[in-house]
Chains A and B, each alone.
Chain A
Amino acid sequence: MASSFNVNTRTEDGYAVIQTDGYLNGPTAEKLAETAKDLMSQGYNTFVINLERTRLVNSIGISILIEIIELLDEHGGALHFCHLTPVIERTFKMMGLTQHAEIHPDEETATTNL
């Protein structure tokens, strides 16, 4: 099994959807963080991160996601996740991400609950 990582973004009125594809580890999470920072510099501070195509996350990836949450907090923004695998959802809960970010089953539910 080979893995690559891609980030696709879509901006809507007042929020941005970031779709990841692949293993969320150090280098790839940095890529995600850069994308988030770019969007924040454009004035977006509410994000939906769609992890439908991501099955693996490591501790560095999680650490960088926490960093994004803290950055958004500083700017009065919010982070929402959707389409988490059961393992990733349990991991996020255990690592405390769900205290500062909401989890939704799918993108539609996430965007209607912003």
Chain B
Amino acid sequence: MQSVSAEETMHRLIFSLSELEQLGETIVSGRGNFNVSSRTYLRIIHGTLQVNRCAILLFQPTANCLTIEAAINIKGESLTIPVTDDDIATILESSIIDPASPPPALDPFFAQIQPQLELLDANLWAPLKIRDEFLGVISLGSFRAQDHLEDWNRELLPVLANQISVAIAYSRLLDKTRAEQFRLFMLSDTATQICKSLDTDAVQEEVVTHAITLLDASAGGLLLINPVTQRLEMKSLFTFEPDANTALESLSIPLQTDQDVPSSPLAQIAAPGGETLISNNEGNGALLGHRNLIAVPMRGREDTLGVLIVADKEGRGGATPDFTDEDRVLLEAFANQAGVAIENAQLYQEALEGRQLQAEMEEAAKIQQNLIPDTLPEISGYEATGLYFPRGGVGGDYYDCLPDSNGSWGFAIADVSGKGMQAALLMATLRAGLHSEVTRKEDLPSMAESLNSLLYASSTSGKFATFFYAQLHPETDQITSINAGHNYPLVIRAAGGCDELEKGGVILGMFANDILADIAEYEQETTQLYSGDVVLLYTDGVTETVNPDGDLYGEERLEVVATRVKSESVDQICQAIYDDVIEFQGEAEQFDDLTMMVLKKI
């Protein structure tokens, strides 16, 4: 071995001091990422202590092992050294440890890690610590110029170890401060941004992704309560495992079992008074196929909206830390803000849909109004009038009077099932078909069949129309009529009595024509009119008007009123019936329109 000259020792000391000064400046400047500076520290050790190999090993508390952070001239940088709490306690008692002759308590430890020590060429270890917190070790290999460390170097090694320990602690403090700064920013800025969005799907997705980043996790999901089905349904999911998505994307959990208790841990969180669940063991974490998870109730202004889940918390260097109480507080605070954002978006969506529905109803009302004639034509020897009075929305009532063949006139009244745009469009179809068929038909049954076929082809399931059509022949004072499931029109006789025009067939649009032929064929009937006779056509909105006691207006009362005023003009008859219906209904809410036509033989 060569001896080390005083001059060389002096040079190495100057080098060390200069490097230490530079590192001190780095730390003071506010930049001190240990990942970056660890190699510089090693360079100082390597240069100052004249070792062939050296390494800094950091303690990984979650895995209870030492791993290499930086190394010079060492192969196998991925080696790990398992270490127990007892080993650590003993290591912390020494400032320098010789692995070849360690304190007796560490004999088993060093005996177990011989392969790793050989890879490290470990001659000396110096613990890295801040007070009683174990941070890792400096491992020195064989010395280049001597077989042992000189005294002044033995004194320098703990100084370097202290310096490195401070740098590690500082680096971690910086990381922690940055993480706190990041979390505060996410809470204040991002949550505010989410609250500004009113797109339900976008808000739900943003809530999940930002919750994941807020807690430095890898996966998460949002389950919202469906108030109709009383189930928790997955609304947004973020995961690195695409295969897991298929099952989780459609996850739907009943809120309660048949015994009225929460059906699962997630349902329990969503129940009134439900609390946050933190699961750091595989049992509950595996609930959704994740290592660990935290699930918090997401509350709206009054009720719980659902459950926000964040899973697979991550740490630096592949560490897999647990979710903590701090995470709980943070995620609960975020969920409270996010809950308001989601509720706002839902309310906005509902309002938007309400406005769209309103606009559709208004449009449908316009269509309906345009289809009903403003006035009826003048027919020699007759008076005719019509009334359409909307109540509680857009129904499918329709009436019309149109010239028929050979100088006759057609009177039509119909009631299309349903309300809104769909009813209005079906009514428009019926009207178009009627106007077309009036000139083409051979007889009323064939016209009814054509209209039935048209409506059956045009309408969706459950959509149909009751329909009555009367062909008035002024030269004979006869009416030929057909009734497809409509309320029976009344013929109030001037001489007394009342007839009903009931002959016809099945409601239009309910069955295809070939099926219809097996049920019953359409029939028409002919009725003779005499001077003073009144024909009253109406929809069920008249006879099914209810009063505050829930009683129906009914056909009988309609006939009584019509009979009482039969000698008046058609307008007066119409007005009298209308007045009586309105008086009958009182304050009761009505949902069907009032529609009628009155024809009178002068």
Cβ–Cβ contact B237 & A1, under 8 A: yes
**B250–chain A nearest beta-carbon distance, Å:** 14
- With A2-B239, A2-B242 known as contacts, the answer to whether A87 contacts B193 (CB < 8 A) is yes
Cβ–Cβ contact B216 & A94, under 8 A: no
| Chain A residues with CB under 8 A of B245 | 2
- With A1-B205, A87-B193 known as contacts, the answer to whether A60 contacts B216 (CB < 8 A) is yes
Cβ–Cβ contact A91 & B185, under 8 A: yes
**A9–chain B nearest beta-carbon distance, Å:** 21
The interface stretch among A41-49, A63-71, A106-114 is A63-71
| Chain B residues with CB under 8 A of A95 | 178, 181-182, 185
Question: Which of A1, A87, A94 sits near B181, CB closer than 8 Å?
Answer: A94
Cβ–Cβ contact A2 & B240, under 8 A: yes
Cβ–Cβ contact A2 & B36, under 8 A: no
B17-59 interface with A by 8 A CB criterion: 31, 33, 35-36
| Chain A residues with CB under 8 A of B185 | 90-91, 94-95
Instruction: Report how far A63 CA is from B315 CA in the complex, Å.
Output: 11
**A72–chain B nearest beta-carbon distance, Å:** 10
A50-97 interface with B by 8 A CB criterion: 55-60, 62-63, 66-67, 70-71, 73-74, 87, 90-91, 94-95
Residues of B within 8 A of A (CB): 31, 33, 35-36, 175, 178-179, 181-183, 185-186, 189-190, 193, 205, 209, 212-213, 216-218, 236-242, 245, 314-318
Residues of A within 8 A of B (CB): 1-4, 23, 25-27, 30, 55-60, 62-63, 66-67, 70-71, 73-74, 87, 90-91, 94-95
Question: Which of A3, A62, A70, A91 sits near B238, CB closer than 8 Å?
Answer: A3
The binding surface of chain B is classed by DSSP as helix
The binding surface of chain A is classed by DSSP as helix
Instruction: Report how far A70 CA is from B193 CA in the complex, Å.
Output: 31
Cβ–Cβ contact B33 & A27, under 8 A: no
**B53–chain A nearest beta-carbon distance, Å:** 21
Cβ–Cβ contact A58 & B181, under 8 A: no
Chain A CB within 10 Å, residue with most, of B31, B190, B237: B31
- With A1-B237, A26-B316, A67-B33 known as contacts, the answer to whether A56 contacts B182 (CB < 8 A) is no
Question: Which of A2, A25, A26, A66 sits near B178, CB closer than 8 Å?
Answer: A66
Cβ–Cβ contact B183 & A25, under 8 A: no
A-B contact pairs, 16 of them (CB 8 A): A2-B245, A3-B238, A4-B240, A56-B212, A56-B213, A60-B179, A63-B33, A63-B175, A63-B179, A70-B31, A74-B36, A90-B185, A90-B189, A95-B178, A95-B181, A95-B182
Instruction: Report how far A62 CA is from B175 CA in the complex, Å.
Output: 10
Cβ–Cβ contact B315 & A3, under 8 A: no
> Which single residue of chain A is at the shortest CB-CB distance from B216?
A58
| Chain B residues with CB under 8 A of A67 | 33, 35-36
**B124–chain A nearest beta-carbon distance, Å:** 28
> Which single residue of chain A is at the shortest CB-CB distance from B239?
A2
| Chain A residues with CB under 8 A of B181 | 94-95
Instruction: Report how far A3 CA is from B236 CA in the complex, Å.
Output: 13
Question: Which of B178, B213, B242 sits near A63, CB closer than 8 Å?
Answer: B178
**A77–chain B nearest beta-carbon distance, Å:** 13
> Which single residue of chain B is at the shortest CB-CB distance from A90?
B189
Instruction: Report how far A73 CA is from B35 CA in the complex, Å.
Output: 14
| Chain A residues with CB under 8 A of B182 | 58-59, 62, 91, 95
| Chain A residues with CB under 8 A of B33 | 63, 66-67, 70
Instruction: Report how far A90 CA is from B236 CA in the complex, Å.
Output: 25
| Chain B residues with CB under 8 A of A70 | 31, 33, 36
| Chain A residues with CB under 8 A of B193 | 87
Instruction: Report how far A74 CA is from B205 CA in the complex, Å.
Output: 40
Instruction: Report how far A95 CA is from B190 CA in the complex, Å.
Output: 14
Instruction: Report how far A77 CA is from B179 CA in the complex, Å.
Output: 26
